Amino acid sequence: MAAGPPPSAAPLLLLLAALLLARPPPSLQQAISAADLAALLAVKGSLTDLPGASFFSTWDFAAPDPCSSFAGLTCSLSGRVAVLSLGAGGLSGSPGLAGSLSPSLARLTGLTQLILSPGIVTGPIPPELGRLPELRVLSLTNNRLTGPIPASLAALRGLHTLDLSYNQLAGPIPPRLPALPGLKVLILASNRLFGRVPPVSAALLHLDLRKNLLFGQVPPLPPTLRYLSLSGNAMWGPLSGLASLSELVYLDLSMNRFGGPIPPSLFSTPSLQSMLLQRNNLSGGVPAAGAASDPPSYGPGSVVDLSHNALAGELSTALIGVETLYLNNNRLTGSVPKEYVKSVLQGRTRTLYLQHNYISGFPWDRGMAVPDAAEVCLSYNCMAPPVGLEGCPASAGTQPSRPASQCSAFRGGENPRD
């Protein structure tokens, strides 16, 4: 009888067997297509590693199997390039690439993902990319791409994610691009785009257009949207269209020209953890939280910034438990509800800025102490800050309270300057 392998060799044999089973059968393994290899040669000819990078060091066109040896490359079983990740090749901290994007990328017609890592790649986005029928992810972020967003990208009917953020792209957003039926993530932040925001896809979950030159009103948005950032533009109009966004987690419309009241439903959205509406022209007040079956559960990491608007009236309890709460530089009046003091003392609220309002009362008893990790500012209101609450950031100014003439004029219905 033949002897079996020694016990020490058994784990190695099992590992080899597992590796052999994980590999596709030889009949399914095909060499990379000649057309894709020629396209990759053109792509490499238009790009170069920045000093300290070594992405292209593995791109040896004499290699027998580029699909397994080229960094950033994944091929399908048919030998077509399916994923092309240019630049880092999975290495964190790589300085990336320089050069430009070759129109030959469009010859890789099996591409499902095209990703460009941060670097200093310049020039336009090739309009030919609109001829990639299988493309689902196009991410060309953190480079120096210029020119317009090609309108041809609207032909990518299967596109799921488009990220062109942090470049120098200019011009309007192509009108049909945001409305692609399967588009779920659209990130065009930090460019030089201008004009109005076109209609968006009913499937969209994530929309980030911050830090551009966009104007006009917020377009109709799908109720399933979870992330919305339009900050740092020149947009205007009411926020009434946000009332139906019941699944929002993150909202940033700061530093625009939006006016009118804040929709009460935003104070009753259970999922909303960040609401940044500062530096607009918003009016009305902070409405009470609605009678939702599942009220907001503000907790660690929650941020609400409504500062530098024209919000008036008494503060409701809708924002109890927010960890970082900015309500400064508005026209709030009356006494602050005691629940806010309790939230600070319990350590739930770590930042409470109420300075530069017309508040007349804060239920703070002598002997109370602000927790070490918390910060409360009440300066320049219609009251002297209670003992122990005199510390404020330098931006709050040095005057502890408003002149009495301002407070009496405000109560009398006049509109004094802040």
Encoded tokens for 282: 């918003």
Whole-structure pTM value: 0.89
**pLDDT tens, position by position, 272-281:** 999 999 999 9
Cα angle value 111/228/221 (rounded, 5°): 85
CA 137 to chain centre: 17
pLDDT tens digits for 66-100?
Answer: 999 999 999 999 999 999 999 975 555 678 999 99
**Could you state, in order of their start, the residue ranges of all structural domains in the chain?**
34-147, 302-418
At the topology level, CATH places domain 34-147 in 3.80.10
Mean pLDDT of 180-201: 98
pLDDT band, residue 166 (cuts 50/70/90): very high
3-state secondary structure 54-105: CHHHHCCCCCCCHHHHCCCEEECCCCCEEEEEECCCCCCCCCCEEEECCHHH
Average pLDDT over residues 128-156: 98
> What is the pLDDT averaged over residues 28-47?
88
User: 321-338 in b/e burial notation, b at 16+ Cβ within 10 A?
Assistant: bbbbbbbbbbbbbeebbe
Q: What is the mean pLDDT of the chain?
A: 89
For 282-294, write each residue's pLDDT tens digit: 999 998 765 444 4
Q: Taking CA 73 as the corner, what is the angle to CA 71 and CA 74, rounded to the nearest 5 degrees?
A: 135
What SS3 state is found at 130? helix
Confidence band, pLDDT 50/70/90 cuts, at residue 19:
very low
**Residues 246, 223: Cα–Cα separation, whole Å:** 6
Which secondary-structure segment (H or E) carries 19? Answer: helix 10-22
C-alpha atoms less than 13 angstroms from C-alpha of 91 in its C-beta half-sphere:
16
| Statement: residue 295 has pLDDT above 80 | no
pLDDT in tens, 238-269: 999 999 999 999 999 999 999 999 999 999 89
Is 376's pLDDT higher than 50?
Answer: yes
| Secondary structure (DSSP) of 277-325 | --SSEE-S--PPPP--SS-----TT-EEE--SS--EEE--STTTT-SEE
pLDDT at 13: 36
Contact (CB, 8 A) for 323 and 302:
yes
pLDDT at 408: 84
Q: 16: which DSSP letter? A: H
